[in-house]
Chains A and B, each alone.
Chain A
Amino acid sequence: MADEVMKRVGPPVIEKTPGSGLVGRRTRALLAPRVTGQVRYTDDIHLPRMAWGRLLRCPHPHARIVRIDASRALARKGVLAVITGKDMPERFGIIPWTPDEYPLALERARFVGDAVAAVAATDERIAHEAAELIDVEYEILPAATDLDTAIDAPSVGLGRSGKDNVSKEVELEFGDVDALFAASDVIVEGNYYYEGSAHAPIETHCAIGQYDKNGLLTVWSATQVPHYLHRELSRVLRVSPTRIRVIQPPVGGAFGGKSEPFSLEFCAAKLAMLTGRPVKFLYTREEEFYAHRGRHPMRMAMKVGATRDGKLTAVDTRTHIDGGAYSSFGLVTAYYSGQLLTLPAFAQGYRFKSTRYFTNKPPCGPKRGHGSVQPRFAFEVSLDKIAEKIGMDPFELRRRNLVEANAQTLNGMRVTSNGITECLDKVESASQWKERRGKLPVGRGLGVAASAYISGTNYSIYPNAMPQSAVQLKVDRSGVVTIFSGQSEIGQGCDTLLAVLVADELGLDLGAIRVISGDTDLTPVDMGAYSSRGTFMNGNAALHAAQQVRTKMVDAVAEKLGVTPGEILVTRGALCVAADPSRSVPVTRAIELAEGKFGTLGAVGYYNTPELGGDYRGGTIGASPAYSFTAHVAEVSVDTETGRVDVKRIWVAHDCGKAICPTIVEGQMEGSAYMGAAEAIFEEHVIGKDGLHLGPNLLDYKIPTSLDVPELIALLVESNDPEGPRGAKEAGEGPLHPSIPAIANAIYDAVGVRIDRLPFSPARVLAALRDKRARERPGEQAAE
Chain B
Amino acid sequence: MEHAIFDWNTEIEGTLRAATLASAASDAGTVTSSDHVRFGLHATGVQVVDETLRDGLQNGSGVNPPIGHKVDLLHAMARIGVDVVSVGLPAAGARYAEDTHHLCLEIRDARLALLPTAAARTVVADVQGIARASQRAGMPIEVYSFIGSSPIRHYTEGWDLAFLVDSVRKSTEEAVREGLSFCLVTEDTTRAHPDMLRTLFRTAIEAGATRLCLCDTTGHVTPYGVAELIAFTRGEIQAIGAKGIQIDWHAHNDRGLSIATALWAASVGVDRVHGTGLGVGERVGNTSLELLVENLGLLGARAPVSRERLIEYCELAARALSWTIPDDHPIAGSRFRKEHVQSHAYRVVDESPSAPVVAPTAGKAPSDRLVPMMLRLGGSEVELAVHPRRTLLEALRYDLDLIGTKQGCDKGDCGACTVVLDGKAVLACLTLALDADGRDVQTVETIGGAHLDPLVDCFDRAGGGQCGFCTPGMLMSATALLDRNPRPTRSEINVAISGNLCRCTGYGRIVDAIELAASIRRGEEAGSIDMPGTECAPPPLASNTRPARPEKS
Interface assignment of B403: CB less than 8 Å from any CB of chain A: yes
Question: How many whole Å from A105's CB to the nearest CB in chain B?
Answer: 26
Tell me the bound Cα distance from A18 to B13 in angstroms: 114
Q: Map CB proximity to A onto B447-478 as digits: 1 under 8 Å, 0 otherwise.
A: 00000100011011111111111111001000
Residues of B within 8 A of A703 (CB): 501, 503
Tell me the bound Cα distance from A712 to B536 in angstroms: 39
23 contacts between A and B (CB under 8 A): A5-B539, A29-B463, A31-B466, A31-B471, A32-B456, A34-B467, A46-B398, A77-B363, A200-B503, A202-B406, A202-B416, A202-B470, A202-B501, A202-B503, A204-B408, A252-B468, A254-B467, A511-B532, A511-B533, A587-B536, A666-B509, A705-B498, A712-B506
Q: Are A34 and B506 in contact (CB under 8 A)?
A: no
Q: Are A670 and B452 in contact (CB under 8 A)?
A: no
Q: Are B530 and A670 in contact (CB under 8 A)?
A: no
Tell me the bound Cα distance from A709 to B503 in angstroms: 11
User: Contacts A512-B536, A670-B506; is A34 near B406 (CB within 8 Å)?
Assistant: no
Question: How many whole Å from A199's CB to the nearest CB in chain B?
Answer: 8
Q: Are B532 and A252 in contact (CB under 8 A)?
A: no
Tell me the bound Cα distance from A307 to B366 in angstroms: 80
Q: Are B507 and A34 in contact (CB under 8 A)?
A: no
Contact of B467 among A30, A490, A510, A511 (CB under 8 A): A490
Q: Are A36 and B363 in contact (CB under 8 A)?
A: no
- Which range contains the number of B residues in contact with the other chain? 35 or more
Question: How many whole Å from A667's CB to the nearest CB in chain B?
Answer: 5
User: Contacts A46-B398, A670-B505, A698-B501; is A203 near B469 (CB within 8 Å)?
Assistant: yes
Q: Are A285 and B410 in contact (CB under 8 A)?
A: yes
Q: Are A35 and B502 in contact (CB under 8 A)?
A: no
Q: Are A36 and B404 in contact (CB under 8 A)?
A: yes
Question: How many whole Å from A496's CB to the nearest CB in chain B?
Answer: 10
Tell me the bound Cα distance from A285 to B412 in angstroms: 11
Question: How many whole Å from A395's CB to the nearest CB in chain B?
Answer: 25
Contact of A250 among B409, B443, B468, B503 (CB under 8 A): B468
Contact of A27 among B401, B464, B509, B530 (CB under 8 A): B530
Residues of A within 8 A of B443 (CB): 37
Q: Are A573 and B535 in contact (CB under 8 A)?
A: yes
Q: Are B536 and A479 in contact (CB under 8 A)?
A: yes
Q: Identify the interface centre among A38, A43, A201, A203: most chain B CB within 10 Å of its CB.
A: A203
Q: Are B409 and A697 in contact (CB under 8 A)?
A: yes
Chain A residue, CB-CB nearest to B467: A491
Residues of A within 8 A of B533 (CB): 509, 511
Q: Are A35 and B475 in contact (CB under 8 A)?
A: yes
Q: Map CB proximity to B onto A655-667 as digits: 1 under 8 Å, 0 otherwise.
A: 0000000011011
Tell me the bound Cα distance from A580 to B501 in angstroms: 55
Q: Are B539 and A671 in contact (CB under 8 A)?
A: no
Tell me the bound Cα distance from A34 to B466 in angstroms: 9
The 7 closest A-B pairs by CB, nearest first: A37-B404, A491-B467, A511-B532, A252-B469, A34-B468, A674-B506, A37-B444
Q: Which residues B484-511 have CB closer than 8 A to chain A?
A: 493-495, 497-511
Q: Are A30 and B532 in contact (CB under 8 A)?
A: yes
Q: Can you add 11 more A-B contacts, CB < 8 Å, to A35-B468, A707-B495, A712-B508?
A: A32-B457, A39-B468, A41-B403, A251-B467, A253-B504, A285-B409, A511-B532, A511-B536, A667-B466, A670-B506, A706-B502
Interface assignment of B257: CB less than 8 Å from any CB of chain A: no
Question: How many whole Å from A685's CB to the nearest CB in chain B?
Answer: 15
Query: Secondary structure at chain B's binding surface: helix, strand, loop or mixed?
Result: loop
Question: How many whole Å from A330's CB to the nearest CB in chain B?
Answer: 24
Q: Are B460 and A285 in contact (CB under 8 A)?
A: no
Q: Are B467 and A253 in contact (CB under 8 A)?
A: yes
Residues of B within 8 A of A29 (CB): 460-461, 463, 465
Query: Secondary structure at chain A's binding surface: helix, strand, loop or mixed?
Result: loop
Tell me the bound Cα distance from A252 to B509 in angstroms: 18
Q: Map CB proximity to B onto A1-29 as digits: 1 under 8 Å, 0 otherwise.
A: 10011001100000000000000000111
Interface assignment of B413: CB less than 8 Å from any CB of chain A: yes
Q: Identify the interface centre among B409, B466, B530: most chain A CB within 10 Å of its CB.
A: B466
Residues of A within 8 A of B28 (CB): none
User: Contacts A667-B463, A671-B505, A675-B503; is A284 near B410 (CB within 8 Å)?
Assistant: yes
Tell me the bound Cα distance from A255 to B469 in angstroms: 14
Residues of B within 8 A of A579 (CB): none
Interface assignment of A745: CB less than 8 Å from any CB of chain B: no
Q: Map CB proximity to A onto B373-414 as digits: 1 under 8 Å, 0 otherwise.
A: 000000000000000000000000110010111111111011
Question: How many whole Å from A709's CB to the nearest CB in chain B?
Answer: 5
Q: Are B463 and A255 in contact (CB under 8 A)?
A: no
Which residues in B have some Cβ–Cβ distance to A below 8 Å? 363, 397-398, 401, 403-411, 413-414, 416, 443-445, 452, 456-457, 459-472, 475, 493-495, 497-511, 530-533, 535-536, 538-539
Chain A residue, CB-CB nearest to B461: A28
Question: How many whole Å from A197's CB to the nearest CB in chain B?
Answer: 12
Q: Are B510 and A706 in contact (CB under 8 A)?
A: yes
Chain A residue, CB-CB nearest to B404: A37
User: Contacts A253-B503, A670-B509, A707-B498; is A38 near B404 (CB within 8 Å)?
Assistant: yes
Contact of B466 among A39, A199, A492 (CB under 8 A): A492
Interface assignment of A319: CB less than 8 Å from any CB of chain B: no
Q: Are A698 and B413 in contact (CB under 8 A)?
A: yes
Residues of A within 8 A of B511 (CB): 706
Q: Identify the interface centre among B443, B471, B475: most chain A CB within 10 Å of its CB.
A: B471
Tell me the bound Cα distance from A675 to B466 in angstroms: 14
Q: Are A491 and B468 in contact (CB under 8 A)?
A: yes
Question: How many whole Å from A699's CB to the nearest CB in chain B?
Answer: 5
Q: Which residues A657-694 have CB closer than 8 A to chain B?
A: 663-664, 666-667, 670-671, 673-675
Tell me the bound Cα distance from A738 to B532 in angstroms: 37
Question: How many whole Å from B509's CB to the nearest CB in chain A?
Answer: 6
Question: How many whole Å from B448's CB to the nearest CB in chain A?
Answer: 8
Q: Are B465 and A34 in contact (CB under 8 A)?
A: yes
Residues of B within 8 A of A666 (CB): 463, 509
Q: Map CB proximity to B onto A247-271 as digits: 1 under 8 Å, 0 otherwise.
A: 0001111110000000000000000
Contact of B508 among A37, A40, A675, A709 (CB under 8 A): A709
Contact of A285 among B397, B408, B536 (CB under 8 A): B408
Q: Identify the interface centre among B444, B511, B539: most chain A CB within 10 Å of its CB.
A: B539
Q: Identify the interface centre among B409, B499, B531: most chain A CB within 10 Å of its CB.
A: B409
Interface assignment of A44: CB less than 8 Å from any CB of chain B: yes
Chain B residue, CB-CB nearest to A663: B463
